A and B are shown apart, each in its own frame.
Chain A
Amino acid sequence: MTETTASEATVNDTASGQPVADTAAAGADAAARGPGASGHNRPARTANLLYGETETELRAAVRELLADKAPWRDVLARTETGQTYDDSLWHTLAAEVGCAGLLIPESLGGAGASYREAAVVAEEVGRAVAPVPFLGSAVIATTALQAAGDTEFLPELASGALTASLAIPFAAGTRYRPEATVRLDAPQRGDERGDYRLTGTITGLADALLAGLLIVPVDSVPFGLYAVRVSQPGIGKRPLVSLDMTRQLCEVRLESVLARRVAAGQPAEQAVAAALLAGAGILASEQLGLAEQCLDTTVAYVKERRQFARPVGGFQAIKHRLADLWVSVTQARAAARYAADWLAAGFGPETTMAVALAKATCSDTALKAAQEMIQLHGGIGFTWEHPAHLYLKRAKADSIGLGTADAHRASLDVLANLPAPE
């Protein structure tokens, strides 16, 4: 949908004319000639790591909406109500800005955009710690349905009329295998051919409280992915008191509920894997946006806060911490963009690598940013009346959601051929 021309030289270029720093850049330069330059696992395409024009426009629209409809005081107040997700904001974001249908083809009512655009929306959602199920519905559930080849619900999802959630615990990593907590049940009188009945309990679901459609994996033979409309008897959702109340988790109980199978066997397994991979990759962008907001807020604060008759931001102890955080954010941005661009290109091995790097890096960076935000704000940052705790809780929960940094790094054993100790 958008392309910024980027000319990344993927070849090793020391032939002539190019500056070769021989002091500070010794490592980087020597690196270009290093013995590891075998390229055994070098990607064939060059990722575009920049933001395109359309992406920048989309960002501006989303940021404007969230600034207007989700100021942090409202977000904070909502965490103490019975309706922690903002249904009205989500509807505006989904339907009016068109964020629900970004990944859905135009022929099915979507925008026909890609994960690159979805990533930009996620950045803004992270910046605002907005209580909307964008990740769960517009990214994870949408990816699961599309990867399963099911188109029945996509027009409703694209229009924002329906919100969906993949019924897998938020803590599941990308190597998730469903537990046998949901089983196929006996058909009931009046069921038609193709109807299934599901019974069981799944807990720790994110972005499911507003969902009108659950996509439920069932680990039977064959492994199956089932669509369950929530507007039927036998379904119970119980909100859980969550560390991060801006993305409140819930438990779902299914009592012989009517379901339709959207995929079975390998296609179903692949659909779940694709959804979790896309979810982790786009969550990395959300973490990036969250980290940027923490950095920006903190920089602004230390310029204003005075102690010892000067702004505290003039003390090196604080300047250096913020400089280091800025470096981390710079690195995280490259990783997040790399994952978004590879997701937009498909689901090959390099996409898995890109997501692992991005989720590992952005998990650490977002948490670091939120922690620095609290410390560098001093006492005010430790109070309920300041947004820092919202960011800390979301950052910590996000660092566990869809695979911890540690779990993603562990996948480098195969991806980067770095075998674990015996």
Chain B
Amino acid sequence: MLTPDELRSQVAEFLAAHDPASTERLEFLRARFDAGLAWVHYPAGLGGQGLPRSLQVVVDREFLAGGAPTNHPERNGIGLGMAAPTILAHGTPEQKERWLRPLWTGEEIWCQLFSEPGAGSDLAGLATRAIRDGETWTASGQKVWTSSAHMAKRALLVARTDPDAPKHEGLTYFALDMKQPGVEVRPLRQITGEAEFNEVFLTDAQIPDADRIGDVGQGWTVSMSTLMNERVSIGGNAMPREGGMIASAARTWREHPELRTPGLYDRLLRLWADAEVARLAGARLRQQLAAGQPGPEGSAAKLAFARLNQEISEFEVELAGGDGLLYDDWTLRRPEGANFFGRNPGFRFLRAKGNSIEGGTSEILRNIIAERVLGLPKEARVDTGPWKDLPR
């Protein structure tokens, strides 16, 4: 096993051979991937060296200090956080070879075509159809809540391939080429005024069978592993004290004594303490993962953050008083990712409402915790039998 120091010297050698100042950005990133220094916990030949994930931070720090170009992970969150682990777990060797490198370098942005107007919390009820003809599948349907679809080269797609099977069993998972005539992307405007998300209409979109991920009918299993990664990544980012939504509320409090009231003060102290404890819970979760003792606490993180983000942003608008009545910009903008900062408290207040809906509603998460962590009985189901016969 490599020590952090040995890893550091690997990076130093790499930087000596590929001077960031004179190497073209993409060339540098491809070389870094090929040297196994992209994501060190990935296997050799796929951008990594099979090392513990905890060593990634060592590599990142060295590249940052060496002035290396980045792969702009913020532009490819779905790709790095969800597509890559799904491909790694369920892709063929040929698919891994073909997709992971351009994914990591950011040459190919990925998006996720899961939710539909009629399939939100009930994802397995989705209706987008894919029909096979020889070595090609033809997909048609409507997807929604797709971030990055307007920038994406590829999409993770779950589609119904067997309407006669029970709903969880008739699904198949694909990687869809977004740049083709059968794919239409339209902005979906949210309550913030922004269009961070998209609607995606598939009309006879073509998918080679070589781009199917997992077996026919295994789409639900593969989707679950994608969603698991989505939720893991929520508690996944280390952050400093006062690193979250509480930052601007606390700053406003410190800078504006005239806004302080006893009622607001009590709320601020509660929110500050809760935010700090939620941060510690995230740190503890990462320590568990690093020590090889993964626990179910990850699903607690999203619930906690959704509640905190909403309460803190509500507080912040109220604290702002008259300024809380103003909004910075209602024009339809197309941000590259969700970013709470650089906008005013009103934006944060509105955007945080999505936190308890996106990536699994808080209600669904409570069901998951109750059933999978606490072992409580499942709801009685009425949606068994062939999917095509279910009431819609």
Q: CB within 8 Å of B: which residues of A?
A: 4-39, 41-42, 47-50, 299, 302-303, 310-311, 313-314, 316, 318-320, 322-324, 326-327, 330-335, 337-338, 356-357, 360-361, 409-410, 412, 416-422
Contact = CB atoms under 8 A, between A and B. Distances in A.
B371 A319 contact: yes
Contacts of B239: 12, 28, 31-32, 34, 37
A18 B56 contact: yes
A310 B377 contact: yes
A20 B300 contact: no
Contact of A314 (B265, B290, B354, B378): B378
A189 B71 CA distance: 85
A29 B309 CA distance: 12
Given A42-B241, A419-B257, A6 B309 contact: no
Interface in B345-383: 351-352, 354-355, 358-360, 363, 365-367, 369-371, 373-380
Given A313-B376, A418-B253, A27 B60 contact: no
A333 B239 CA distance: 19
B301 interface: yes
A20 B237 contact: yes
A19 B282 contact: no
Contacts of B340: 26-27, 30-31, 34
B131 to A, nearest CB: 29
15 contacts: A10-B240, A16-B38, A17-B71, A20-B337, A21-B236, A22-B338, A28-B305, A35-B248, A38-B242, A47-B283, A49-B283, A331-B304, A334-B284, A409-B269, A420-B265
B34 to A, nearest CB: 14
A150 to B, nearest CB: 34
A20 to B, nearest CB: 4
Contacts of B359: 21, 23-25
Interface string B1-12: 000000000000
B39 interface: yes
B231 A8 contact: no
A29 B282 CA distance: 12
A148 B263 CA distance: 40
Given A49-B287, A319-B366, A15 B302 contact: no
Contacts of A25: 230, 233-234, 236-237, 302, 305, 359
Contact of A18 (B237, B293, B304): B237
B203 interface: no
Contact of B376 (A13, A299, A356): A299
A49 B231 contact: no
B98 interface: no
A13 B254 contact: no
B95 interface: no
Contacts of B104: 17
Interface in B70-88: 70-71, 73-74, 77-78, 80-82, 84-85
Interface of B: 38-40, 54, 56-57, 59-61, 63-64, 70-71, 73-74, 77-78, 80-82, 84-85, 104, 145, 147-148, 229-231, 233-248, 250-251, 253-254, 257, 260-262, 264-265, 268-270, 272-274, 276-278, 280-284, 286-288, 290-291, 293, 297, 300-306, 308-309, 337-341, 351-352, 354-355, 358-360, 363, 365-367, 369-371, 373-380
B110 to A, nearest CB: 11
Given A20-B77, A22-B74, A34-B341, A11 B57 contact: yes
Given A16-B38, A50-B284, A420 B237 contact: no
Task: Identify which of A28, A314, A320, A409 gathers the most chain B CB atoms within 10 Å of its CB.
Answer: A28
Contacts of A313: 370, 376-377
Given A26-B358, A420-B265, 4 more contacts: A23-B359, A25-B233, A311-B376, A314-B377
B280 A335 contact: yes
A202 to B, nearest CB: 31
By secondary structure, the B interface counts as: helix
A49 B284 contact: yes
A299 B375 CA distance: 8
A28 B248 contact: no
A337 B288 CA distance: 13
Task: Identify which of A22, A31, A37, A420 gathers the most chain B CB atoms within 10 Å of its CB.
Answer: A22
Contacts of B80: 17-20
Contacts of B309: 27
A10 to B, nearest CB: 7
B253 A337 contact: no
B341 A33 contact: yes
A50 B238 CA distance: 16
Nearest to B340: A30
A287 to B, nearest CB: 13
Contacts of A335: 277, 280-281
Contacts of A10: 238, 240
Given A14-B73, A418-B250, A31 B284 contact: no
Contact of A337 (B148, B254, B284, B301): B284
Contact of B377 (A23, A35, A303, A409): A303
Contact of B238 (A9, A299, A409, A421): A9
Given A19-B229, A28-B235, A319 B370 contact: yes
Contacts of A5: 290-291
A413 to B, nearest CB: 8
Nearest to B281: A334
Given A11-B238, A17-B56, A20-B77, A26 B338 contact: yes
Nearest to A50: B287
Task: Identify which of B73, B74, B248 gathers the most chain A CB atoms within 10 Å of its CB.
Answer: B73
Given A12-B240, A19-B81, A320-B363, A422 B257 contact: yes
Contact of A36 (B64, B145, B243, B283): B243
Contacts of A21: 77, 81-82, 230, 233-234, 236, 359
A348 to B, nearest CB: 15
Given A24-B230, A26-B351, A27-B305, A50 B57 contact: no
A24 B302 contact: yes
B269 A6 contact: no
A334 B283 contact: yes
A37 B243 contact: yes
Contact of B245 (A6, A31, A418, A422): A31
